[in-house]
Structure 1
Amino acid sequence: MTTRQAPRALTDDEAYALLRRHAGHSSAFLALNEGNRRFRADGIDGFVPYREAGRRHLFELGGPVCAPADQERVLTALLDEAGRAGRRVTAVQLGREAAELHARHGFTVNQFGASFSIGLDGYSLGGQRMVKVRNMVNRARREGVTVTEVAAEQRRTPDVAGTLDAIDRAWLRGKGRHVKELDFLIGERGGPGAPHRRLFTARHEGRTVAYVSYSPVFGTRAGWLYDLTRRLPDAPPGTVELVFATALQRFQEEGCGWLHLGFTPFVQLRPETCAFGPTSSVLRRALELLAAKGQAVYPAATQESFKLKWRPQVIEPEYLAFQHGVSPGAVWRLMRLTKAV
């Protein structure tokens, strides 16, 4: 997207500082993913993460990162700039307030899925409701699985990086030869945000068999986001659960308030969540169909089941918003951008 007298581009450190000051969405750290661009409005302390697709589409991620009083101005500036470039804007993974903001600007808004969060104060894996989780964690321990946090400087060494790369390749192969690794709406191990993430690995019989990375979350529910999970196909049952439980305990010991399980598309869809603005019944039915039969596109039911078994106390809707209404071109470009097709 071309700009006229565009403000100076943000450095990675400046973008991170803005996230610390203004971000509240649990997945806002995805703004630092490699490949994302950052739109700035002149004179405003903030930015909008986005990517372009084709010649006519711009995909905004998560909404404006700025003070609440500046959000209207930033979004208006983005829409003006996109219009001058001949692009229509689609916003992805919006929280409720950002969705309402876009609805006020004439966007068609539909619920896209939900995010899940655990308040760590007083949280415990004890009790009858958590018995299945404890059984999986204990099974991995009996198999001899151990979990270690790997510091950022260690992750950059050739041996560790090569091991993690090998797990990535094996994980993807295990999904099937036609499956692509999703992009844009999930975390990554490298990129500009790598120094700020935390990574826990699981070892079994002398080799690394899985890892989970966590990204920082800012705002009123500050904490960590369960971001990226990879495991070898032959990792013992309960390995990921043991990594998760170990990290959760570590975060509690550090006084962390929240552990966010992240966004899952096509789940927890409820029509009443979009009562604040115009919505598309056609898109709603398509999303409901994907929820029921779309495992080939994304294993949403499996992801939701994993997250629900940890008994998150907060489940919040997240939204898609289309400028000038939902168009087949925008939907297709979004699926291509995320590598869903």
Structure 2
Amino acid sequence: MSTAPTRESSSAVVLEAITKHTQAGNPSSFLAMNTGNELFTVPDADGVVVYRQAGRHLVQFGGPFAGPDSYERLLTAFQEHAQERELRLVAVQLQRADAEIYARLGWTVNQIGASWAVGLPDFTLRGTRFMQLRNKISRAFRNGLQVREADAQDVRDALAVIDTAWLADKGEHVRPLEFLVGQTGGSAQRHRRLFVGSIDGTPVGYISYSPVYGPQAGWMHDLSRRLPGNSPGLMEAINSTAVEAFRAEGAQWLHFGFTPFTGLDAANELPGHSAAFTWLMHFLWEHGEDLYPARTQLAYKEKWGPDLTLPEYIAFRGQASPVSFAHVFRACNAF
């Protein structure tokens, strides 16, 4: 990075960039605010590159959050930064507008998955389509669930208990994911919304929502965790409560975030993409549940009848590489 700002000033730089430069419409852009991210800037360029280093790879989150006059200059400088240090580059969660620029600049670009969103103004759970979902939500409330919006600081200890039990339930060697999933706490928490479900006064689950900027502005259903073994429909009931709050405030979209290996379509691929990597994505959709539970994640999102599917992309500086792809998961703390 060209300077070494404090954490507070870094957060301010990123927040300005993701709120000002929304032309790519990345619904996950608020993840750029996560603690642990690194920033790259150049003098007189209006924007920032967000990334993490994993081994000899720099894993970039999204495209540069930059103005049109600075976008390619910033990306080129970041490429030179990596080359001077003999590091490999891979970028993940590019939007279509980003992907087209990267492909034109010689990167190998492939669809890696999709994100999903529901339009809120006309959203309703009425009708046979949502009967099963309504029944699960009703059951959770009948079992004593109460949902409220909470200040994360006020329920910090309860969130820690839920997080610990949730992770233990996933298996002995499972690690908490980072980078491409949200956080609670920290200086960015004041911009998020937190809805907590409790039974008999004890918090048993929560969903954190992050702001979404750009053409489909609204909120993103981000980090969600629950105590194992509680009432069916618990998370659906929490989300339905948040949906009604957002609708009452006039929010336009609820995004469900990025899910790898989903929404794959040959029509989404760009010239120069890797046929082998396309095959790998389809293979992981069919057989990759141990790597990432894409089918389970998509099933939850489809319950809500999404109106919008946005393809998301991965880009390799050079040929598509399984090693570089693995370093995306390494940056996410998956292994």
Q: Which residue of 1 aligns with 2:31?
A: 30
Give distance in 1, aligned partners of 2:135 and 2:146.
Answer: 16
Q: Which residue of 2 aligns with 1:330?
A: 324
SS of residue matched to 1:230: strand
Give distance in 2, aligned partners of 1:288 and 1:340.
Answer: 20
> For 1:303, which of 283, 297, 302 is the aligned residue?
297
Paired AA for residue 309 in structure 1: K
SS of residue matched to 1:90: strand
Q: Which residue of 2 aligns with 1:202?
A: 197
Per the TM alignment, residue 92 of structure 1 is displaced from its structure 2 partner at its CA by 0.4
Q: Which residue of 1 aligns with 2:170?
A: 175
Identity of aligned residues (%): 42
Q: Which residue of 2 aligns with 1:87?
A: 87
- The CA deviation string for residues 222-281 of structure 1, in whole angstroms up to 9 with x for no partner, is 11110000000122111100100000000000011111110001111112211x331112
Return the TM-score normalized by structure 1: 0.93
Q: Which residue of 2 aligns with 1:188?
A: 183
Q: Which residue of 2 aligns with 1:220?
A: 215
Paired AA for residue 131 in structure 1: M
Give distance in 2, aligned partners of 1:69 and 1:253.
Answer: 38
Q: Which residue of 1 aligns with 2:13?
A: 14
Structure 1, unmatched stretches of 5+, are: none
Aligned ranges 1:60-71 → 2 under 5 Å? 60-71=60-71
> For 1:279, which of 257, 273, 283 is the aligned residue?
273
8 Å CA contact 1:7–1:42 kept in 2: the answer is no
- Does residue 270 (structure 1) correspond to residue 265 (structure 2)? The answer is yes
Per the TM alignment, residue 26 of structure 1 is displaced from its structure 2 partner at its CA by 0.3
8 Å CA contact 2:262–2:298 kept in 1: the answer is yes
8 Å CA contact 2:179–2:331 kept in 1: the answer is yes
Aligned residues between the structures: 330
Paired AA for residue 16 in structure 2: A
Per the TM alignment, residue 8 of structure 1 is displaced from its structure 2 partner at its CA by 5.6
Give distance in 2, aligned partners of 1:103 and 1:277.
Answer: 8
Give distance in 2, aligned partners of 1:80 and 1:109.
Answer: 19
Give distance in 1, aligned partners of 2:329 and 2:216.
Answer: 30
- The CA deviation string for residues 123-154 of structure 1, in whole angstroms up to 9 with x for no partner, is 11111111111111111111110100002xxx
Q: Which residue of 2 aligns with 1:145?
A: 145
Per the TM alignment, residue 210 of structure 1 is displaced from its structure 2 partner at its CA by 0.1
Give distance in 1, aligned partners of 2:328 and 2:16.
Answer: 28
> For 2:245, which of 250, 265, 285 is the aligned residue?
250
Paired AA for residue 137 in structure 1: I
- The CA deviation string for residues 48-87 of structure 1, in whole angstroms up to 9 with x for no partner, is 1111121x31111011112234322221121122212222
8 Å CA contact 2:59–2:327 kept in 1: the answer is no
Q: Does 162-171 or 285-294 show the bigger shift? A: 285-294
Per the TM alignment, residue 15 of structure 1 is displaced from its structure 2 partner at its CA by 1.8
- The CA deviation string for residues 146-205 of structure 1, in whole angstroms up to 9 with x for no partner, is 100002xxx224xx2111001001001111112222221111113442221110000012
Give distance in 1, aligned partners of 2:322 and 2:297.
Answer: 27
Q: Which residue of 1 aligns with 2:49?
A: 48
Give distance in 1, aligned partners of 2:125 and 2:67.
Answer: 37
Q: Which residue of 1 aligns with 2:225?
A: 230
Per the TM alignment, residue 332 of structure 1 is displaced from its structure 2 partner at its CA by 2.7
Give distance in 2, aligned partners of 1:34 and 1:205.
Answer: 34
Q: Which residue of 2 aligns with 1:156?
A: 153
Q: Does 177-186 or 219-228 show the bigger shift? A: 177-186
8 Å CA contact 1:224–1:259 kept in 2: the answer is yes
Q: Which residue of 1 aligns with 2:116?
A: 116
SS of residue matched to 1:97: helix
Paired AA for residue 282 in structure 2: E
Give distance in 1, aligned partners of 2:202 and 2:140.
Answer: 15
C-alpha change, 1:175 and 1:36, in structure 2 (3 Å) is same
Give distance in 2, aligned partners of 1:123 and 1:32.
Answer: 29
- The CA deviation string for residues 92-137 of structure 1, in whole angstroms up to 9 with x for no partner, is 0111111111111111111111100111111111111111111111
- The CA deviation string for residues 306-331 of structure 1, in whole angstroms up to 9 with x for no partner, is 10110110011101100011224312
Give distance in 2, aligned partners of 1:298 and 1:8.
Answer: 35
Give distance in 1, aligned partners of 2:178 and 2:232.
Answer: 27
Give distance in 1, aligned partners of 2:161 and 2:284.
Answer: 31
Return the TM-score normalized by structure 2: 0.94
Structure 2, unmatched stretches of 5+, are: none
8 Å CA contact 1:103–1:278 kept in 2: the answer is yes
